[in-house]
């Protein structure tokens, strides 16, 4: 019986991604090659690992689940050993790859780059962006990145294999054009019709594909601003804020993006805290990498920076001028 590390990597990627087609992107392999390697693994083990059917999601057999869990442990141990080797025997040999969502850009990238430069025994630092926290988790679990900044709620099923540091709270913020008088916002939230001067309050930008709290956005507008309709569709938070800055609409964004907006955009927008719970953000990495000193030190420094710089008191959010009727 011979099972290769490559086969374990493929099985693990399929298990994490949920399908061969999704695993293809992470492995940079064709579907025939993946299927061939998995068939060879099944032949070597003398048992079926996957339930092949018409379902878009690939189901594992009990043996497949057993070997997928074993693959995660083995691949993690190999990764940790390689990282420790670089740390111990190769001068400035460790590479750290941090994954974030697009909300963390601009000044955030500069800040983490400074942390990386100040870290001893680090040969390279990569900053990777993925559309959502779920995408980041998949990259993390398939060893494509070493550390990820993502929504804490995504980590529940993986806490036994991940080391997680609390980062900061990301609040949902209502972005309104600076050109709309505060008195107009107050009146409209109190039930007055939207006047021509506040026409941007009649439209909002949707971020359906990237906002996990999209349903809450719909509920909020229905309750607080029933005269507003979704007009713009965006795939990035900064695109939505730029539409707001142009005086064309309002939108909901995560508070973390405020720090990273260009000054010329930020000064044309007011940001209101709509209340309610925020999203806890966590800094996660495989447990075995926490024993590698550069990973440990970088994660601790980054978590401390996030807690300090992204604290609610530093964001400068405005309270809603007046609680709308029906809230």
Q: What pLDDT, in 10s, does the model give residues 178-217? A: 999 988 998 998 888 888 877 899 999 988 766 667 788 8
Supply the pLDDT for residue 41: 93
Supply the pLDDT for residue 211: 66
The pLDDT confidence band at residue 327, using thresholds 50, 70 and 90, is very low
Give the CB-side neighbour count of residue 187, counting CA atoms within 13 A.
11
- What whole-number distance in Å separates Cα of residue 269 and Cα of residue 258? 10
Supply the pLDDT for residue 106: 79
Express each pLDDT in 276-308 by its tens digit: 777 889 999 999 889 888 899 999 999 999 988
**H or E, element range at 283:** strand 279-286
Express each pLDDT in 104-145 by its tens digit: 877 898 999 999 998 887 888 999 999 888 889 999 988 889
Domains and CATH numbers, the chain: 5-68 (1.10.10.10), 79-169+279-313 (3.40.190.10), 172-278+315-319 (3.40.190.10)
Express each pLDDT in 65-113 by its tens digit: 999 989 988 988 888 888 878 777 776 678 899 999 888 877 898 999 9
Average pLDDT (217-235) is 89
Question: Would the pTM count as exceeding 0.85?
Answer: no
**H or E, element range at 38:** helix 31-45
Contacts of 50 (CB under 8 A, 6+ apart): 14, 38, 42, 58, 59, 60, 61, 64
Residue 99: count other Cβ atoms within 10 Å of its Cβ.
25
């Amino acid at each position: 019986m011979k099972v290769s590390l490559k086969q374990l990597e493929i099985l693990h990627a399929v298990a994490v991604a949920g399908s061969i087609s999704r695993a293809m992107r992470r492995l940079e392999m064709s579907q025939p090659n993946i299927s061939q390697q998995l068939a060879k693994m099944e032949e070597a083990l003398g048992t079926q690992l996957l339930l092949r059917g018409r379902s878009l999601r690939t189901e594992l057999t009990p043996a497949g689940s057993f070997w997928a869990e074993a693959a995660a442990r083995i691949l993690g141990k190999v990764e940790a050993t390689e990282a420790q080797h670089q740390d111990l025997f190769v001068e400035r040999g460790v590479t750290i790859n941090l994954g974030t969502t697009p909300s963390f850009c601009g000044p955030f990238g500069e800040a983490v780059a400074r942390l990386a430069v100040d870290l001893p025994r680090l040969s390279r630092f990569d900053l990777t962006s993925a559309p959502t926290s779920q995408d980041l988790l998949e990259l993390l679990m398939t060893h494509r990145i070493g550390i990820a900044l993502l929504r804490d709620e995504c980590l529940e099923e993986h806490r036994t294999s991940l080391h997680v540091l609390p980062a900061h709270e990301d609040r949902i913020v209502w972005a309104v054009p600076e050109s709309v008088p505060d008195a107009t916002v107050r009146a409209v939230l109190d039930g007055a019709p939207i006047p021509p001067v506040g026409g941007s309050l009649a439209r909002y930008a949707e971020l359906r594909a990237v906002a996990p709290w999209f349903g809450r956005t719909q509920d909020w507008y229905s309750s607080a601003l029933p005269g507003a309709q979704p007009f713009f569709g965006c795939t990035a938070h900064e695109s939505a804020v730029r539409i707001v800055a142009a005086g064309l609409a309002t939108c909901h964004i995560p508070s973390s993006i405020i720090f990273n907006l260009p000054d010329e955009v930020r000064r044309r927008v007011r940001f209101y805290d709509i209340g309610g719970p925020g999203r806890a953000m966590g800094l996660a990495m495989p447990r075995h990498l926490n024993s590698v000193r550069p990973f440990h030190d970088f994660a601790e420094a980054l978590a401390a920076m996030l807690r300090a710089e992204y604290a609610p008191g530093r964001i400068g959010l405005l309270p809603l001028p007046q609680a709308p009727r029906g809230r």
